[in-house]
């Protein structure tokens, strides 16, 4: 086999890592190297956070240790039966790349995943060696995110969480039967068992009243990813799985990644990727559950799909017009958060300002991104929507003409 240059390896293994969306570095423990000999920080001048418009973090060195793999997951470009260029880093090469890119201020940390080589334990041990070398040999204090292999031994999963800021264990697909059909080497029971072990470790580190503070254990928590559109799962089924994962394992975040057709794929996979707007709507619905107080069942039924033309909060409001209009000067925070067009920050500003004055429509306009979407759902000191809330053509009046975040 021809020896690949480091540059060629980086090209192959960074491209192979692009399918994993769960690489945001939010929520990490604060580490810094001010006044010390350590390298890297997760705060201050050492780190510059940069995010793509869809929320993906773009300031990490995001690579695979290798894209060789003994598994044959039908949806994966790196499956054993795939005809794709292969490469493999050594542990030291990953360490050197991370330190080199960080010193040049290109990155804030490392996101490391891998195909499975030899065995799950062997591969996980190599990934842990990368993190341990960075932390203990080079005193690296930047962000590290390790993708845990759920089939690895509990000891290795624990070590990964001790050296990394965040770990992630991909659930892969929203339905157990889909995982069994498309990824026969993976076991949903094993995946959940590994998630449970990480949750127990995180919870133990946060127990109050302990005399000795335990070492940091995945201080930024754990996340997971689901592929959207590789099977026939509805949006409701996807969000139901996400909701159960949040509750059972206290995940920081579930990522939704639109299926991307791959060369020489199995006939049971779709020929085209789902529209990216579907991924976007799932993220919006996810935020409603996590930050806006919505139950999943309020947003969508388990067999239903989200409306791609409008955001899920607006869709809920149009179905529940009896809950509107909401008085911006008297309504509690929970009710204001349900108004289409009002985000968490805007509601916070409204609550602050109305302590000193009664808000008029012009005040709301200054505190938000606009009022046209809000007008059918709000009452202000100088505004009432009257019959506007119940108009048959309300959807047409408020439907956005282009993609927007709420």
Last residue of a domain, one of 266, 299, 332: 299
The answer to the question of residue 244 being in a domain is: yes
What is this structure's pTM?
0.86
**In angstroms, rounded to a whole number, what is the distance separating the alpha carbons of residues 149 and 113?**
9
The answer to the question of residue 43 being in a domain is: yes
340 and 270 within one domain:
no
Last residue of a domain, one of 299, 328, 361: 299
Report the pLDDT value the prediction gives residue 27, as an integer from 0 to 100: 43
Structural element, H or E, at residue 109: strand 109-113
Report the pLDDT value the prediction gives residue 210, as an integer from 0 to 100: 65
The answer to the question of residue 10 being in a domain is: yes
361 and 281 within one domain:
no
Report the pLDDT value the prediction gives residue 209, as an integer from 0 to 100: 63
C-alpha atoms less than 13 angstroms from C-alpha of 346 in its C-beta half-sphere? 21
Residue ranges for the chain with pLDDT beneath 70: 1-2, 21-58, 209-214, 264-266, 401-406
The answer to the question of residue 53 being in a domain is: yes
329 and 291 within one domain:
no
Structural contact between residues 273 and 261, judged by C-beta atoms closer than 8 angstroms: yes
334 and 248 within one domain:
no
Q: Which residues contact 146 (CB under 8 A, 6 or more apart)?
A: 112, 113, 127, 128, 131, 160, 163, 164, 166, 167, 168
The answer to the question of residue 380 being in a domain is: yes
Report the pLDDT value the prediction gives residue 191, as an integer from 0 to 100: 94
364 and 221 within one domain:
no
Domain count, the chain: 2
Reference 294, options 328, 320, 326; nearest CA is: 320
271 and 333 within one domain:
no
371 and 227 within one domain:
no
Write down the mean pLDDT value for the chain. 86
Last residue of a domain, one of 272, 299, 326: 299
143 and 27 within one domain:
yes
The answer to the question of residue 405 being in a domain is: no
339 and 272 within one domain:
no
288 and 221 within one domain:
yes
The answer to the question of residue 155 being in a domain is: yes
CATH of the domain at 122: 3.20.20.70
Domain extent, residue 155, equals 6-299
317 and 290 within one domain:
no
The answer to the question of residue 304 being in a domain is: no
316 and 295 within one domain:
no
């Amino acid at each position: 086999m021809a020896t690949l240059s480091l540059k060629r390896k980086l090209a192959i293994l960074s491209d192979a890592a692009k399918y994993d969306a769960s690489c945001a570095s939010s929520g990490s423990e604060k580490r810094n190297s001010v006044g010390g000999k350590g390298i890297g920080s997760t705060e201050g001048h050492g780190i510059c956070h940069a995010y793509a418009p869809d929320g993906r973090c773009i300031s990490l060195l995001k690579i695979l240790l290798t894209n060789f793999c003994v598994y044959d997951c039908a949806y994966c470009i790196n499956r054993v039966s795939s005809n794709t260029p292969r490469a493999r880093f050594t542990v030291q090469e990953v360490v050197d790349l991370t330190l080199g890119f960080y010193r040049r201020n290109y990155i804030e940390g490392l996101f490391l995943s891998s195909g499975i080589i030899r065995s799950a334990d062997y591969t996980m041990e190599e990934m842990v060696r990368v993190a341990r070398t960075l932390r203990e040999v080079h005193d690296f204090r930047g962000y590290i995110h390790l993708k845990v292999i759920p089939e690895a031994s509990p000891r290795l999963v624990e070590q990964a969480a001790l050296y990394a800021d965040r770990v992630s264990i991909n659930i892969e697909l929203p339905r157990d039967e889909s995982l069994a059909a498309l990824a026969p080497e993976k076991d949903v029971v094993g995946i959940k068992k590994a998630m449970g072990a990480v949750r127990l470790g995180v919870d133990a580190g946060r127990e109050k009243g302990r005399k000795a503070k335990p070492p940091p254990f995945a201080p930024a928590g754990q996340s997971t990813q689901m592929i959207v559109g590789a099977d026939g799962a509805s949006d409701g089924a996807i969000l139901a799985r996400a909701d159960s994962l949040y509750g059972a394992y206290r995940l920081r975040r579930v990522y939704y990644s639109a299926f991307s057709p791959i060369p020489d794929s199995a006939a049971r996979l779709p020929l085209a990727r789902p529209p990216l707007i579907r991924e976007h709507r799932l993220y919006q619905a996810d935020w409603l559950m996590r930050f806006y107080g919505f139950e999943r069942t309020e947003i969508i039924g388990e067999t239903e799909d989200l409306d791609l033309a409008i955001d899920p909060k607006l869709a809920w409001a149009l179905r529940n017009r009896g809950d509107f209009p909401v008085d911006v000067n008297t309504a509690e925070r929970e009710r204001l958060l349900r108004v289409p067009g009002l985000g968490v920050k805007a509601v916070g500003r409204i609550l602050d300002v109305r302590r000193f004055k009664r808000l008029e429509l012009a005040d709301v306009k200054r505190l938000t991104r606009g009022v046209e979407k809000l007008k059918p759902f709000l009452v202000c000191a100088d505004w009432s929507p009257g019959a506007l809330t119940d108009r048959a053509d309300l959807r047409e009046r408020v439907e956005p003409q282009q993609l927007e975040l709420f």
